[in-house]
Amino acid sequence: MSAPEASRIPFNKPFMIGPELDYIRAAVERGHLAGDGPFTQQCREWLERSFTIPRALLTPSGTAALELAALLCPLEPGDEVILPSYTFSSTANAFVLRGAKPVFVDIREDTLNLDERLIEERIGPRTRVVVPVHYAGVACDMDRIGAIAERHGLVVVEDAAQGVNATYRGRFLGTLGRLGAYSFHETKNVLAGEGGALALRDAADIERAEILREKGTNRAKFFRGEVDKYTWVDVGSSLLPSEIVAAYLCAQLEHCDEITAQRLRTWEHYAQALAPLAQQGRLRLPCVPAECRHNGHMFYVILADAAQRDPFLAYLKQRGVQAVFHYVPLHTSPMGQRFGGRAGQLPVTEDLSERLVRLPCYYGLTRPEQDRVIETMFEYFRTGAR
Ligand SMILES: *Cc1c(COP(=O)(O)O)cnc(C)c1O
């Protein structure tokens, strides 16, 4: 039995919320397609106003935002950066590109976030940066991580790629460290196809980031009339998205709360409907600490037994439901092993990564579709291979 294509429920589906194409047309008609035009400006102002960010800079991706953050960190080759292993390669690559060594720390059993209790034992004389990754838009324990960073003089770079519009003790993710990276990739909550932003608060960082992002030139100052010509003043790269991308993003940001609210309704529905499976011990549901307001970025379940995952995913797929697992831990990847990573070092990461399954969750996923995902899961545990 195979579900017909029309009734397939994909894991993710990029969407438009309304004015995207009108805005793209406006950008084209205005004749400004390169970066830092009016739509980029509008996105920047929206982010700064809505999330209380002193300065937000749009970037071509979340990866580029992390790379820009890494360029702003005081890093020499051989310096060390603390981060979870249960994350995307970009979290590590941004710093590895600077010659830094990633030091992987295990995650918490409940939130799958960097385990703050294990950070201090991995801090050495060359540790410079700690990177909390807010998995599924649920904040890390930023009070404790901030205090540890302060004690040891470390820079906190938040990987808030999944954390757009989520908060920790009422403050928006991405604004809690010195630097915060967002992603607007088509798999995230607010989309631009590919896109990202870096949140900055330090005056010196803001001044330097503008230069790094503009190919190492003081072009931004020139356009503000602060210098009479612009020239090469620092290292840098091209880290501006085009206005076409910014136009799409602008349309989505204006509806950010609506997108978040719908995702949260989906998330809550899954959580309520699947609670009986959790009570039966078949799986575990996500945990959101009281101080965290998440953004419905992801709905995952942790199966009771790793051997269940492949048959479970295959069963759902057969019935037209595309559920997926997530990261292969970085420390056991071929690249992670080059930095001394070995299986057995991070038991929680290794265990949970093999049991985690993400369910379809996107803007536009209908209630009947959600119910089909839920019913198929119940059916598996009633009748499928166990
Ligand atoms: C998506 C993601 C990134 C990378 O963002 P891109 O926009 O795809 O470059 C980095 N870190 C985490 C945790 C992510 O989920």
Give dist(CA 238, CA 142) in Å, integer.
Answer: 31
Chain centroid offset of residue 151 CA? 27
By three-state DSSP, how is residue 182 classified? Answer: strand
Q: Quick check: 321 and 375 in contact, CB under 8 A?
A: no
Domains and CATH numbers, the chain: 20-253 (3.40.640.10), 256-384 (3.90.1150.10)
| Core vs surface per residue 24-41: b (16+ CB within 10 A) or e | beebeeeeeeebbbebbe
Nearest CA to ligand 1 atom 5: 62
pLDDT of residue 7: 87
Residue type, position 359, single letter: L
DSSP per-residue string spanning 34-71: SSSSHHHHHHHHHHHHHHT-SEEEEESSHHHHHHHHHH
pLDDT of residue 216: 95
pLDDT of residue 384: 63
Residue with tokens 């499976």: 277
pLDDT < 50 regions, the chain: none
Whether 159 lines ligand 1, by a CB cut-off of 6 Å, is yes
Q: Quick check: 104 and 345 in contact, CB under 8 A?
A: yes
Whether 90 lines ligand 1, by a CB cut-off of 6 Å, is yes
Residue with tokens 């997926």: 324
Give just the sign of the alpha carbon dihedral 220, 160, 93, 88: negative
pTM: 0.97
Exposed, middle or buried, 261 (CB in 10 Å: 0-12/13-18/19+)?
middle
Q: Quick check: 368 and 299 in contact, CB under 8 A?
A: no
Q: Which atom of ligand 1 is nearest to the CA of 194?
A: 7
Nearest CA to ligand 1 atom 1: 161
Residue with tokens 């985690």: 356
Distances (CA, A) of 48 to 59, 64, 172, 181, 199: 15, 19, 11, 13, 8
Give dist(CA 233, CA 217) in Å, integer.
Answer: 5
CA of 343 to the centre of ligand 1 (A): 24
Whether 161 lines ligand 1, by a CB cut-off of 6 Å, is yes
User: Which tens digit of pLDDT belongs to each residue from 198-219?
Assistant: 999 999 999 999 999 999 999 9
Best of 59, 158, 183 for a ligand 1 pocket test (most atoms within 8 Å of beta carbon): 183
Best of 185, 187, 252 for a ligand 1 pocket test (most atoms within 8 Å of beta carbon): 185
